[in-house]
Amino acid sequence: MATVAPTRVRGGRGLGVLLLVLALLVGLAAYALVGIGFAGTVPADVAEYGLGMAVLSFGAWAVVRWRAPDADPVILPTVVALNGIGLAMIYRLDLSYEARGRAHGFADKQLAWTAISMVLAMLLLIVLRDHRTLRRYTYTAMVASLLLLLMPLVPGIGHTVNGAQIWVRIGPAGLQPAELAKITLAVFFAGYLVTNRDTLALAGRSVLGLRLPRARDLGPIIVVWAASLAVLVLQSDLGTSLLLFGLFVAMLYLATERVSWVLIGLTLFAGGAAVVATVVPHVRARFDVWLHAMDDDVFNRAVGGSGQLVRGLFGMASGGLFGTGWGEGRPYLVPYAESDFIVASLGEELGLTGLLAILVLVTILVHRGMRAAIGVRDGFGKLLAGGLAFLIALQVFVVVGGVTRLIPLTGLTTPFLAYGGSSLLANWLIVALLLRISDDARRPAPAMRATAPTPDGGIPSVVGGPSLVPAEQGRDDQHGDDQPTQALGRVR
């Protein structure tokens, strides 16, 4: 319980460009070092690759300056750096796969997806002038999320890969719709909670210092819990299930400030996961691998053994503090080193020092999202930015925790690093939304600019927007509680 007196981060513009150059350099140097580590020379197309990335990144920077001039200067460089590191590692693994005659060509696809994602994210930034517009589509977003989550179950377009039915294949393009559902769900939760948070926060009895909600207010959390369990059972996808439920509980906590919701959520999830883990064999195998990874029979199991996990651990161990260097290690020994286990690959070649730098970059990104949530003035924006930032943090925690055997391994992708088009696209869209909200958060306070004189009679009016709704009229209408902020926001 503290109030934050906002200070404005100034002069981010010039420094933002500097950071972006540095971020590009990080990606480019990685690419060049892969070539040096592998063939002893810098790759021939390093200039073209660098030029392409520079055009994309500075194009994105220009769009941000144009459409969201007050947006956070640190978000874009951080993401460009993470994306560049991921691309370099995938390229490096590609070279190894090619030398061993295994399936390769991941790097080209990932590069194409990077370009597509950046362009689409910037389009979103251009089209979406104000994040509050999204609030109008609260329930549309809910329907869209359900459709996206159910798509892989539709026969014909659904597709099962390695036991998890989370893919949709339309023509040549494969997509994991659950990745996009994350965003629509965050929009839905934010819109729903900003309208209903008072009931969820204030009603109920106090027991041992905890404010417990009334039984009938438990409805929404039960519904989301059931939906996430359905994802777990029907699609055998532990990761998405955890992400979906975690997102809801976190946003519920953001909206109500009641610790009791977090405790209820954790209890529900632990109970649900325990039951599912004993019933569904695919999930039980994951728990087995986590708890008894070093057992011989678990390691040698043909399907669902701990070989991948243990090899990843050995890889990171051989990397040590400073890593083997780009292209010098053997991350290709781990199955799915380019997607699920890219963290282990990076840990092997960059060592603990490099991996920690990457994790700090992710932390900075999450921090900027949370900061935008604190700074923005409307409740919907706060919840959306906080939820999206938490989503990135939770996803990275689940992946890194899985790879380092802190929690059971799930099939989630590492944001921006791992191979996977849908994940890259979804995360770039999240970045576009965070940029949009941070632009609103860091814009100079509108109250200082409002020069509208108060007319006689004391009913205030605002230039360029609808007049403020008098309290007596606005009280019960559903969007009423954001109205004054909205009206003030238009004064520019």
Partner 1 sequence: MSELTVGLLRLGYLALLWLLVLSSIAVLRRDLYGTRIVDRRRNRTGGAPAAAPAPTPAPARRSKTAGPTRLVVTEGPLRGTVLPLGAAPVLIGRSPGCTLVLDDDYSSSRHARLFLDGDQWFVEDLGSTNGTFLGDQRVSGPLPLGTGTPVRIGQNVLELAR
Q: Restricting to residues 417-446, which ones interact with partner 1 according to CB under 8 A?
A: 445-446
Stretch that binds partner 1, among 4-12, 148-156, 271-279, 331-339 (CB under 8 A): 4-12
CB 368 within 8 A of CB 75: yes
Largest CA distance in the chain: 84
154 makes contact with partner 1 (CB under 8 A)? no
Stretch that binds partner 1, among 21-29, 53-61, 216-224, 237-245 (CB under 8 A): 21-29
Of residues 135, 286, 371, 436, which one binds partner 1 by CB under 8 A?
371
Question: Phi-psi region for residue 243, left (φ > 0), alpha (ψ -120 to 50) or beta?
Answer: alpha
CA distances to 21, 218, 328, 387, 407 from 243, in Å: 33, 20, 34, 11, 14
Measured from the CB atom, is 288 or 349 closer to partner 1? 349
The residue among 22 and 147 lying less far from partner 1, judged by its C-beta, is 22
Span interacting with partner 1, options 54-62, 144-152, 360-368, 433-441, rule CB under 8 A: 360-368
Which of 120, 154, 149, 133 minimizes the C-alpha distance to 432?
120
Phi-psi map region of 336: left, alpha, beta (phi>0 left; psi -120 to 50 alpha): left
Nearest CB to partner 1, comparing residues 117 and 324: 324
Contacting range for partner 1; rule: CB under 8 A; set: 159-167, 225-233, 303-311, 366-374: 366-374
Q: Which stretch binds partner 1 (CB under 8 A): 9-17, 164-172, 243-251, 295-303?
A: 9-17
Beta bridge partners of 477: none
Closest CA to 243 of 251, 428, 366: 251
For residues 33 and 92, is the Cβ–Cβ distance under 8 A? no
Number of Cβ within a 10 Å radius of residue 121:
25
- Interface stretch with partner 1, choices 5-13, 93-101, 180-188, 399-407 (CB under 8 A): 5-13
# residues near partner 1 by CB under 8 A: 80
Among 17, 29, 262, 310, binds partner 1 (CB under 8 A): 29
The amino acid that residue 51 corresponds to is L
462 binds partner 1 (CB under 8 A): yes
Q: Does 52 bind partner 1 (CB under 8 A)?
A: no
Q: Does 483 bind partner 1 (CB under 8 A)?
A: yes
Dist CA 482 CA 485 (whole Å): 6
Is residue 294 at the binding interface for partner 1, with CB under 8 A as the rule? no
Among 17-25, 131-139, 288-296, 400-408, which window interacts with partner 1 (CB under 8 A)?
17-25
Minimum distance from residue 308 beta carbon to partner 1 (Å): 26
**With contact defined as beta carbons under 8 Å apart, do 317 and 64 qualify?**
no
Report if residue 60 touches partner 1, rule: CB under 8 A: no
89 versus 425: smaller Cβ distance to partner 1:
89
Q: How far apart are CA 423 and CA 314, in angstroms?
A: 27
Burial of 12 (0-12, 13-18, 19+ CB in 10 A): middle
Q: Identify residues 379-398 at the interface with partner 1 (CB under 8 A).
A: 379
Rule CB under 8 A: say whether 360 interacts with partner 1: yes
Q: Which is nearer to partner 1, 1 or 173 (CB)?
A: 1
CB of 323 to partner 1, least distance (A): 7
The CB density around residue 126, as the number of other CB atoms within 10 Å, is 13
Neighbouring-strand partners of residue 159 = 167
**Short-list 377, 451, 430, CA closest to 247:** 430
The answer to whether residue 12 forms part of the interface with partner 1 (CB under 8 A) is: yes
**Of residues 119, 357, 394, 407, which one binds partner 1 by CB under 8 A?**
357
Is residue 227 at the binding interface for partner 1, with CB under 8 A as the rule? no
Closest approach of partner 1 to the CB of residue 482, in Å: 5
Q: Does 454 bind partner 1 (CB under 8 A)?
A: yes
Residues 189-218 that bind partner 1 (CB under 8 A): 194, 198, 202
Say if CB 416 and CB 80 are below 8 A apart.
no
User: Of residues 307-336, which lie at the interface with partner 1 (CB under 8 A)?
Assistant: 322-326, 328
d(CA 147, CA 157): 13
Cα–Cα distance measured from residue 146 to residue 143, given in angstroms and rounded to the nearest whole number? 5
Asked if 262 is part of the footprint of partner 1 (rule: CB under 8 A), the reply reads no
**In terms of CB distance, is 75 or 124 closer to partner 1?**
75
- d(C-alpha 64, C-alpha 212), whole Å: 44
Q: Considering only residues 3, 172, 205, 297, which one is a binding residue for partner 1 as defined by CB under 8 A?
A: 3
Q: Which of residues 68-97 bind partner 1 (CB under 8 A)?
A: 73-74, 77-78, 81
Q: In the complex, what is the shortest distance from the CB of residue 408 to partner 1, in angstroms, rounded to a whole number?
A: 30
Q: Decide if 419 contacts 90 (C-beta within 8 A).
A: yes
Residue from 351, 387, 411, 420 touching partner 1 (CB under 8 A): that is: 351
Phi, psi of 162, rounded to the nearest 5 degrees: 55, 45
Applying CB under 8 A, does 295 fall inside the site for partner 1? no
Residue 109: partners with Cβ closer than 8 Å, 6 or more residues away: 419, 421
- Residue 37 touching partner 1 (CB under 8 A): yes
Q: Decide if 443 contacts 491 (C-beta within 8 A).
A: no
Q: How far apart are CA 122 and CA 59, in angstroms?
A: 9
